[in-house]
Structure 1
């Protein structure tokens, strides 16, 4: 699904204001990574990300729209991103883009993890008081657990995460992280899952059937790692 954002000139309220259309939210974050880490300091110093749908640029240094045509910045996105120059303020209206209800994927922040198909279903970890017990991760419609999600590389706190980043998913209250058992069930471990990438949230995990005890539904499903999983999102 396409993703929209505004970009505003920090030197003026009426010039060089754009609506940016990205092929997807993931493309938006990847474009930002390319611009913000570009060796062309005119762009990396000029363009700023306020949030997922609002950017600023200092056109006295660099115009964000030119990131798609300037070598060494973000030319690889020319078929996935386009900029539309907005009208000025003299008697003309400002186009309003659709608002996206989504979390900002900032490394080191805490999130709930929910199903995109069934957004009332969340990852849930009922911790056992038995220190020898295995703590599994479930999916529930009535309970939820908040996790810290971050890039494994050092000094990346505050970075916007993109699909290729290796990440670790950790509980907030206990030093335990998401890992996968031999039977592919998702569990908590003192050692995080090696090689887990941010894009794995799109297709790596799936759920089993609803669990029952004494004939009563527990309103929980086991969570498994799978090569053909479901789509999840941070909230």
Structure 2
């Protein structure tokens, strides 16, 4: 599904205002990663992310729209992103981007609930008694647990997480992270984070297994053919 954002000229209130259309939410975050880590200093100095759907730029340094055609910035997104120049202030015409039904900004180091995209009333749940390694993680319709989701690269707290990033999913109450029992695929909490876990794995690597402990809870299983989950 397409994703929208505004970009505004930071030095005045009337010119170089755009609506950006991204092929998806993931493309928006990946475009920002490319721009914000570019070696072309004029773009990293010019374009700032205020929020997921609002950016500023200083066209005296670099125009955000030119990020798609300037070598070393974000040319790989030319077929997945486009900019529409809005009327200047005197035109009194503002294109309103559609509101989102659900939105969580994927900022590394923040805490989130994790829920099913298909059945958003089903959440990952780790019982409060789970203060020991090897306790299971479940999916529940009545209970939920908040987790810290962080990039494993050093110095990345506060940055936007994209699909290719390796992450750790950690309990907020105790220093234990998501891991997997190799022989069964059951998801547990462990003192050692799961190695090689990517943010994109939330889209297709986890599913529910057998009922356990109560009729409300099902085991969370790591598999090659999983369901889609999202941060909330």
* TM tier, smaller: over 0.9
Q: Is the 8 A contact 2:131 2:174 kept in 1?
A: no
| TM-fit CA distance, 1:188 | 0.4
Q: Is the 8 A contact 1:127 1:135 kept in 2?
A: no
Distance in 2 between residues matched to 1:130 and 1:169, nearest whole Å: 15
- Residues 130, 95 of structure 1: alpha-carbon distance in 2 compared, 3 angstrom cutoff: closer
Match of 1:121 in 2: 122
Match of 1:109 in 2: 110
The 5 A counterparts of 1:3-42 are 3-42=3-42
Structure 2 residues not aligned, in runs of 5+: none
Distance in 2 between residues matched to 1:158 and 1:98, nearest whole Å: 26
Is 1:221 paired with 2:222?
no
Match of 1:190 in 2: 191
Distance in 2 between residues matched to 1:93 and 1:145, nearest whole Å: 44
Deviations along 1:120-161, whole A, 9 cap, x unmatched? Answer: 111000043685x73100011111000000011111101101
Q: TM-score, normalised by structure 2?
A: 0.95
Structure 1 residues not aligned, in runs of 5+: none
Deviations along 1:92-130, whole A, 9 cap, x unmatched? Answer: 320100123311111111111011111111100004368
| TM-fit CA distance, 1:89 | 2.0
Q: CA RMSD in A?
A: 1.4
Q: Is the 8 A contact 1:86 1:95 kept in 2?
A: yes
Q: TM-score, normalised by structure 1?
A: 0.94
Number of residue equivalences: 230
